[in-house]
Amino acid sequence: MTNAPREALITVTGGAFGYHGTAIVSGVNVALAPGEFTGLIGPNGAGKSTLFKGLLKLIAPLSGEVHHAPRLAGRIGYVPQRDTLDPIYPLTAADVVDMGGRAGRTEECLAQVGMREFRARTFSELSGGQRQRVLIARALAVDPELLVLDEPTAGIDPVAEESVLQLLSDLHRRQKLTILMVSHHMPALRRCAERVIAVNRGRIQSGPAAELLAPERIIELLEGAL
């Protein structure tokens, strides 16, 4: 006897998203399955950020429906594109993780990202890659059902980038963590993601990463019309 498939964490049906009544992206029909690693790609200005906000219910759909599974409530871990903490403010790595809002998980989450030995180090003293690991630990502190990352490797050096991507792959594999990652890093998505949502000219296409990120499809996805 096989187990029934679990309900999708996020389902969008017939969705259109935009601002002041004008749709930026439309025809959205996607589902984020539990335990799946999904990449969100698209050229600048294509509607990627608008779709991202719509998926997370940060903006209401102009049409269609966005459904979040009940178990997702309060359990979305978010890693922003850039650190917005004032580097002058004397927060330690542990202080930043404490901001995740769930008491008692700081040491565990720092250990998960390989930063426990830096717990007392001032956040501003850390390298770009180390800061990103701490921000991932902060997102893990909510014990997330869904980990959402907005360009997590932007602005860090190639060695740190590779390290952060390996960390995300390990978290996904070991914990069966559902991940939604916005990225322009095609090699990383080919390696990490199982599915891809591509946005271009206000339309979307979704499917297996191996298919949509094949070299012959990249120009079509990012430069041509979907």
Rounded average pLDDT per 10-residue block, the chain, 226 residues? 69 96 94 95 86 94 96 92 69 92 86 96 91 94 94 86 91 93 83 90 88 79 56
Which of 12, 114, 111 has its CA nearest to residue 54? 12
Residue 117 has what pLDDT? 96
Query: What is the C-alpha separation between 148 and 223, in angstroms, rounded?
Result: 25
Q: Which residues does residue 129 pair with via DSSP β-bridges, in sequence order? A: none
Inside any domain, residue 119: yes
Containing structural domain, residue 102: 85-143
| Residue 113 covered by a domain | yes
Q: Do β-strands 10-19 and 22-32 pair in parallel, antiparallel, or remain unpaired?
A: antiparallel
E strand or H helix that includes residue 128: helix 128-140
Q: Output the pLDDT for position 111.
A: 96
pTM, two decimal places: 0.89
Q: Provide the pLDDT for residue 201.
A: 82
Is residue 120 a part of any domain in this protein?
Answer: yes
Residue 59 lies in a domain: no
Residue 112 in domain: yes
Indicate the number of domains in the chain. 1
* Residue partners of 195: CB distance under 8 A and separation at least 6: 33, 36, 37, 38, 39, 206, 207, 208, 209
> Three-class SS of residue 155?
coil
DSSP label of 5? P
For residue 6, give Cα distances in angstroms to 3, 33, 173, 195: 9, 8, 18, 17
**Distance between CA atoms of residues 113 and 135, nearest Å:** 10
Predicted pLDDT of residue 85? 67
Give the integer Cα–Cα distance in Å for 203 and 199. 6
DSSP assigned state of 7: P
